[in-house]
Amino acid sequence: MAEARRLAPAYLWMLASTGVLNLAMVLYHRFASASLGEGYAQLAVVLGLTNISVVVSGGLAAYTAKVFAADAIAAGAGGVRARLGRIAVPFGLGLLALAALLAAGGPLLISYLRLPGGTIYAAGVAIVLAILLESAVRSAVQGLQRFGALGWSLVAEGAGRVGLCAALVAAGLGVHGALLAWVGAALLGTLLCVPPLAALPRPTAPLLSQGSRQRLADAAFDAACLGLLSLLYYLDLFVIKHHGGDAVAASYSRAALVAKCLLYAPSAVVLVLLPAVAAARAAGRDPRPLLYKALGVTAAILALGLAVILLLTEPVAVLLCGDVAGVRALAPLIRSMAWAVVPLALYQIVVFHQVAVSQKSLILQEIVVVVLYVAVLELWHDTPEQVVACLGVCATMALAMGLGTAAVRRAGSGRAGAGGLAVSSPPGRNNTSCRSGRRDW
């Protein structure tokens, strides 16, 4: 009960700050949709592509947030400072390697997505690198549960994205300007996280250690899980763009912009859920009650959002996309897609909880769902309605599998067989050693 009272203000502030960020995203896409014409299809698929990369990087950020949360328990706030010093050089080298990998895959992706040139793809790569940097810094603030600084970073990012997009597109940069606005906004969000980290004290105890092979395995697991989740968000856009061309893809992207606003609903919840679950595990407590509370909060937000979309479909579509030709006719598709998105939005909460407790069967569940999704999309993509039906069926299946696993799993006991990743000392005491057989941080 005390923990619920402690987290309640954090949930409210995260709801407010992510609300500003999401409103800024709405304004960004409305301006881009109204200003870019069919070029909006290029923007949508590049952002979808970068978001997959960013969600994969979000998996790494989720892993590091768990590490920072455990460091803060074991060695005080200064443990986060020490950890940042350890990972700075490897992180920089990783950014360079990722840039080279994305550049190598550029020609194939440019061809498949029918992009007009390499500069648009290059802007997408810049987004990925900038948001990776932002995610790494934010994960430290998140692990410390400094939700005040985290919230202001989110607000600054949203405001920066809208302002830069309006300025750069008005300057004649078109799709390139809309993409570069993401880069500038990510750098602004990063800067807002620096002051609380710069003021951290020195650690009061040695950091918990973990073998390099185990660290890589855990980070890869988190990245893979969130990367597979992101495919459920964007595969429909890619299939429509590939098979339908710019005109059809632009219409479908506008419908998705409205309906998939519901996917933003869990964003505030997972920001609080991830470090809270990691801290609960580190202290040896069962984190499942946190999952159920997070699902309840998310369901309430989704119910409100769904009601608005269903009752005010055309006004909301015009608000988000601008009063462009054909947008009002998208109302039936938007309503169908909104229902299909609800289980996917709830599934986000389950995925982040299972990532936080290192539930290894999660990745197998996601592979099954993604493979099924790809298969049904290849069979049924002749109309947008078929694509939406595929999304709804696969999202519902994923949610059912995830909830089933969470319900039967005994989590947070502190034993390796129960999921590991718990510190070996009692709650409230520093742990400076790693016991054999434990998967400590």
DSSP 199: T
Percent of residues in the chain assigned helix, strand, coil, to nearest 5: 80, 0, 20
pLDDT value at position 276?
Answer: 79
Whether 380 and 387 have beta carbons less than 8 Å apart is answered as yes
Whether 259 and 318 have beta carbons less than 8 Å apart is answered as no
Cα separation, 102 vs 407, in Å, equals 39
DSSP annotation string for 104-123: HTHHHHHHHTT-S-HHHHHH
Cα separation, 67 vs 209, in Å, equals 10
Q: How many domains does the chain have?
A: 1
pLDDT value at position 342?
Answer: 92
pLDDT value at position 365?
Answer: 87
Q: What angle do CA 349, 210, 67 make, to 5 degrees?
A: 35
Cα separation, 208 vs 425, in Å, equals 11
Whether 369 and 235 have beta carbons less than 8 Å apart is answered as no
CB atoms within 10 A of CB 168: 18
Residue 433 lies in a domain: no
DSSP annotation string for 37-62: TTHHHHHHHHHHHHHHHHHHHHHHHH
Nearest by Cα to 271 from 146, 402, 128, 411? 146
Angle of helix 361-379 relative to helix 212-259, nearest 10 degrees, comes to 40
Nearest by Cα to 132 from 209, 51, 42? 51
Cα separation, 126 vs 132, in Å, equals 10
Residue 429 lies in a domain: no
Residue 374 lies in a domain: yes
pLDDT value at position 287?
Answer: 78
pLDDT value at position 209?
Answer: 58
Cα separation, 37 vs 24, in Å, equals 20
Supply 286's token pair: 């069962």
Supply 346's token pair: 């709830």
Residue 11 lies in a domain: yes
Cα separation, 362 vs 276, in Å, equals 20
Angle of helix 78-104 relative to helix 39-75, nearest 10 degrees, comes to 150
Cα separation, 373 vs 338, in Å, equals 18
Cα separation, 80 vs 102, in Å, equals 30
Residue 425 lies in a domain: no
pLDDT value at position 426?
Answer: 28
Nearest by Cα to 283 from 119, 379, 411? 411
Q: 43: domain range? A: 2-418
pLDDT value at position 347?
Answer: 92
Q: How long is the chain?
A: 441
Cα separation, 48 vs 36, in Å, equals 17
Q: Give 54's contacts (C-beta < 8 A, 6+ positions apart).
A: 127, 128, 131, 132, 135
Residue 427 lies in a domain: no
pLDDT value at position 172?
Answer: 84
pLDDT value at position 425?
Answer: 30
Residue 423 lies in a domain: no
Q: Rounded to the nearest 10 degrees, how much is the dihedral formed by the CA atoms of 124, 170, 233, 385? A: -130
Whether 150 and 140 have beta carbons less than 8 Å apart is answered as no
pLDDT value at position 245?
Answer: 66
Within the chain, which residues score under 70 in pLDDT? Answer: 1-8, 52-59, 74-75, 203-216, 244-246, 282, 322-325, 408-441
Model confidence pLDDT, tens digit, residues 280-299: 776 777 778 888 888 988 89
* Torsion 326-328-334-335 (CA) sign: negative
Model confidence pLDDT, tens digit, residues 373-428: 888 888 887 777 888 888 888 889 989 988 888 776 543 343 333 333 333 232 23
Angle of helix 331-356 relative to helix 361-379, nearest 10 degrees, comes to 160
Cα separation, 295 vs 337, in Å, equals 21
- pTM (two decimals): 0.62
DSSP 203: -
